[in-house]
Amino acid sequence: MSERVHSPAADETDGPDATPLERLEAARGRFERIEERIDDHGRETVERTAEAYRSATTLLEDYVDRATGTGRENFKAYVELEGQFATLVENLPDDLRDREAFEDALDAIDKRRLSESDFEAAHDALEPASRYADLLEDREDAREALAEARKAASVRLREVGDEIDERERLLELATADLDAPVADLREPIERYNEAIREAFSDYRLEASAREVFDLLERSRWYPFVDFARPPADLREYVRDSPDGEHTIPELLEFADYSRSKLSHYVADADVLKRRVATQQTYLDGIDADALTVDWPPGPAGVLRRRTRELRPFVERVADDDVVEALRAVRRRTYDDDFDRLQTAAQAVAQLSPDERERLADGRVADELERLREERDRLEAALEVDDPI
């Protein structure tokens, strides 16, 4: 093998510190330079000569062990090799580039007895034709490298998009009035959350497991009420067994009883052990979190939708005072200062000291500009229709 494409310029943009864009450009440049070399020689010439070279070297490699030596089988293999190699050379076009290399290789093995040195001489004779096979091999390597570089650039493009979104979010939060009285918004939300947690705790102690499960099942139709639905076997047990009339704390307590003791309290001790004892983690986790309002809250429209979906659930588990506390949160979304307070609350909760410093000295804006430029360059580079 003799003719390999090497470019110092490509090495400078294809090292470990190169960016995905630089690696893509370097890979594309390498591929294009190889294509130019192939065109310089003539594409048909390169492919025909490379195919002939590969066929010739394959023959030599197949027979090097079988055709060397003095035995009958060695001589038989030698005759086969010479015949096949001579046929290959005879069938080569007269105008094939470096045809004489194949003729010289045939001369090297045209003997009554062959040694390994004869095969080496034949390989050496074929060397002028090897450059064409090298070119096609280099092209395939370059094609694979270009495909990998495109993939890496696509990954980086997605990362850049995420980073742009993050910088834009920070700049949006930078407009917040950090001195705004966010307590005016936080207090009604905290008051409601505390009330619903207390009410749900009482509800869990008083309502039957069947009633609670009905409430959880109903939440499937309300996207903003995110209760975890009961496992199917536990749901079936609570729905169909008389034991479903017990409260969840009672069922959890029964699960710790012995089977003999359980027989005094439940319809089927074995079934309770199978259904409840294996689902204690789920039952312990049923709480009011799905009915609370997050802090900081979302935009006004989102909070209105959430409070509207929460209301029928709150009415089932709590008294009018808690329902009124929820209404107070909803009414707050219509106040003129809600957006200002909500943005300030988001900023206070989400901005770290480092982010505030980077916003203040303009680094976030500079980062955003650089990221947008990188995105544009990546998109332009990936729009090129590479032959891969």
pLDDT in tens, the chain (388 residues): 445 544 444 444 566 788 999 999 999 999 999 999 888 888 888 888 888 888 888 888 777 777 676 667 777 777 777 788 888 888 888 777 788 888 888 888 777 777 677 788 888 888 888 888 889 889 999 999 999 999 999 999 999 999 999 898 888 777 777 778 889 999 999 999 999 999 999 999 999 999 999 999 999 999 999 999 999 999 998 999 898 999 999 999 888 888 778 777 777 788 878 888 888 899 999 999 999 999 999 899 999 999 999 999 999 999 999 999 999 999 999 999 999 899 888 888 878 888 888 887 889 899 999 999 999 999 999 988 766 5
- How far apart are the C-alpha atoms of 45 and 96, rounded to whole Å? 7
The pLDDT assigned to 14 comes to: 63
Residues 13-56: tens digit of each pLDDT? 566 788 999 999 999 999 999 999 888 888 888 888 888 888 88
Measured at the CA of 240, the angle between CA 237 and CA 241, to 5 degrees, comes to: 70
d(CA 66, CA 81): 10
- CA dihedral of residues 276, 282, 288, 293 (deg, nearest 10): -160
Q: Which residue has the tokens 């090495």?
A: 11
Q: How is the chain split into domains, by residue range?
A: 8-161, 183-350
Of 282, 267, 266, the closest CA to residue 232 belongs to 282
Q: 3-class secondary structure for the chain?
A: CCCCCCCHHHHHCCCCCCCHHHHHHHHHHHHHHHHHHHHHHCHHHHHHHHHHHHHHHHHHHHHCCCCECCCHHHHHHHHHHHHHHHHHHHCCCCCCCCHHHHHHHHHHCCCCCECHHHHHHHHHHHHHHHHHHHHHHHHHHHHHHHHHHHHHHHHHHHHHHHHHHHHHHHHHHHCCCCCCCCHHHHHHHHHHHHHHHHHHHHHHHHCCHHHHHHHHHHHHHCCCCCCCCCCHHHHHHHHHCHHHHCCHHHHHHHCCCCHHHHCCCCCCHHHHHHHCHHHHHHHHCCCCHHHCCCCCCCCHHHHHHHHHHHHHHHHHHCCHHHHHHHHHHHHHCCCCCHHHHHHHHHHHHHCCHHHHHHHHCCHHHHHHHHHHHHHHHHHHHHHCCCCC
Position 147: which residue type?
Answer: A
Which residues share a beta bridge with 114?
68
The whole-angstrom distance between residue 306's C-alpha and the CA centroid of its chain comes to 31
| Burial (CB count <10 Å: 0-12, 13-18, 19+), residue 140 | exposed
pTM more than 0.75: no
CA 10 to chain centre: 29
